[in-house]
Structure 1
Amino acid sequence: MRIYLFCLLISVFPAAAHAVIAQQEMRPGIPANADYLIGEPGKPAVLLLHGFLQTRDFPTVATLTRGLQDAGYTVLAPTLSLNIPNRAQSLACEAVHRHSLDDDVAEIGYWVGWLKSHGHRSIVLVGHSFGSLQLLAYLSLKPDAAVKAYIGTSLIEAQIGTTARAALIAQLEDRVLGKQRALVNQPLSFCRKYPSTPEGLLSYVRWDQARLLAALRQSPVSVKLIMGDQDNVMKRGWLKALALVQVPMVIVNGANHFMDGAHEFDLLEHTLKSLDTIQPVPSR
């Protein structure tokens, strides 16, 4: 896999630190990019993933990236390609979606490998919203041994509106088995209309609350959740369900799904506290 690095001069960072843009070809003709902010060698590297259809420039992620780097952590913040070459903008709900969760998970794996190839042997996965789900999906498939911990913020399942999930899954499975290629238009996450291939939609729809809870219980690495008690995106009872899994969780009072405003500082503080407990492996 070809890897390109383009050095950038960013004046807002300390002189001792610097940033680059990393690029990898995820699939033939589909390059994807990530911000690589280099921190102190004695700390674990953070792979920070954005939410559904967004980019690494989404405010919650961009603010957390800067805060982590200022605290001395190396941060790799990719933008998932969603099968669009060099994607740099959020993807509209109404666009034709030819990506899948399998593609997303594969790209996470590529970026973990990229960090390892650059000497990082202790990696922490940090996600926001749907990015937290995608990272859990990666962890459920024999993650690289360099991954030491997971921090999920505003973790949420693949929401599908009022549709009965079991019936939708059965319908999509029939389409896949019948090799039907016609697009399916179905609510997904915050999208009221989400036209997608049957295979792609099915890969997301299967990740309901039960599957998320199981992935948390079975995580091969340490888990920490950071949630807001004023998050009106999650369904009623979700915080109680998460509490029953008995994984470490911080509930930020007054914080919404995006942890914006004054709660940006709470998100950064709790993330840093979690990172401080992780013993790094010396970089090569």
Structure 2
Amino acid sequence: MSRLQQLVSLFLLTFSFLAYAEEVTLPFKGITLNADFQTSDAQPLSDGVIVLVHGTLAHNHMEIIRAFQEQLTENGYHTLAINLSLGVDNRHGMYDCNTPHQHKHTDALTEVDQWIQWLKNQGADKITLLGHSRGGNQVAWYTSEHPEQVQRQVLIAPATWSAEQERVDYQTRYKKNLEQVIKEAEQTPENAWLKNTDFIYCANSEVTAGSFLNYYKPDTRFNTPDIIKNTTTPTLVFSGSEDTTVKDLPVQMKRIDNPHIRYFDIEGADHFFMDLYTDEVVELIVEFLESN
């Protein structure tokens, strides 16, 4: 085959792949949810779909989500990368800290469920959830409450939590006492606004008291290893040896003895598993999907 023929073949292959990718939308509580739907002609939709969930205040076009979606689709899997709305109509891109916050951590569970029902209405079955960082925690939380809806779950650097570490992190980042802010939020009506409040990655934000408490009031379910330790859903977990965001994940995972869980610590990977680490993780995901 000549070099020109090779280039033409590559172009046609790429065009064929792109032709099966589209943004889809879903009406939900007066706003529009959106997601990127990529289908493979290697199998029917009824054979299953992988739903990808991004991390904190992020989006479905961030590099890690896009890389995993494209590689998994190229491996013959249908994929749906969703944008969590975070209370914003038809949201795209990173959440703007200037936008008042009225979203909740647990809103993701409801939106994931809406997309699963949408997929089933399209004829899909055998749902696999894949979440990164906070999205990994939200996936595990959803699966723990709706195990009948999920065939498998893949958790990439899922969030960990302890009340003490949360307190220390808030004090370090904002030089403020988290317990004092929680107390103020508890004494405020749920839908009332807290002004000039430091919230997640957004300093001096406007946030409802209910939203602040939903993210910060102590709850062991924020700690992903606690959620999955007794799961019966086939579960694949990844940590990165150079991850400084969920540093305690390897220690916690090594304490879990559950035959339904496979765990890999990827040497050299940071929180985002880019480039060759994406290839390594996808290879392990494909092996896991083929055996479960």
Q: Same fold (TM over 0.5)?
A: yes
Are positions 1:242 and 2:253 aligned together?
yes
How far apart are 1:165 and its partner, in Å?
A: 6.2
Residue of structure 1 in register with 2:21 after alignment: 19
Residue of structure 2 in register with 1:157 after alignment: 160
Residue of structure 2 in register with 1:281 after alignment: none
Give unmatched runs, 5+ long, in structure 1: 1-9, 279-284
String of CA shifts for 1:121-175, please: whole Å, max 9, x gaps.
Answer: 20100011111111122123234x2411111001113656244766655553343
**More helix per residue:** 2
Give unmatched runs, 5+ long, in structure 2: 1-11, 172-176
The percent identity for this pair of structures is: 22
How many equivalent pairs are there?
264
How far apart are 1:79 and its partner, in Å?
A: 0.7
String of CA shifts for 1:223-261, please: whole Å, max 9, x gaps.
Answer: 1101101001124x3320122123421110000000013
Residue of structure 2 in register with 1:62 after alignment: 66
Q: Which shows bigger deviation, 51-60 or 193-202?
A: 193-202
- Please, which of 237, 241, 251 is the counterpart of residue 225 of structure 1? 237
Report the Cα distance in structure 2 between the residues aligned to 1:217 and 1:250, rounded to whole angstroms: 15
Q: Which shows bigger deviation, 151-160 or 221-230?
A: 151-160
* Higher RCO structure, 1 or 2 (CA under 8 Å, sep 6+): 1
Are positions 1:114 and 2:125 aligned together?
no
Please tell me the root mean square deviation across aligned C-alpha atoms, in Å.
2.7
Structure exhibiting the larger radius of gyration computed from Cα positions: 2
Residue of structure 2 in register with 1:268 after alignment: 282
Report the Cα distance in structure 2 between the residues aligned to 1:162 and 1:15, rounded to whole angstroms: 44
Q: Letter of the 2:32 partner, please give it.
A: P
Residue of structure 2 in register with 1:200 after alignment: 211
Question: Could you tell me the TM-score, scaled by structure 1's length?
Answer: 0.82
Residue of structure 2 in register with 1:3 after alignment: none
Residues 15, 184 of structure 1: alpha-carbon distance in 2 compared, 3 angstrom cutoff? closer
Report the Cα distance in structure 2 between the residues aligned to 1:107 and 1:91, rounded to whole angstroms: 17
Residue of structure 2 in register with 1:32 after alignment: 33
- Please, which of 240, 262, 269 is the counterpart of residue 255 of structure 1? 269
Residue of structure 2 in register with 1:282 after alignment: none
Q: Letter of the 1:156 partner, please give it.
A: A
How far apart are 1:267 and its partner, in Å?
A: 2.0
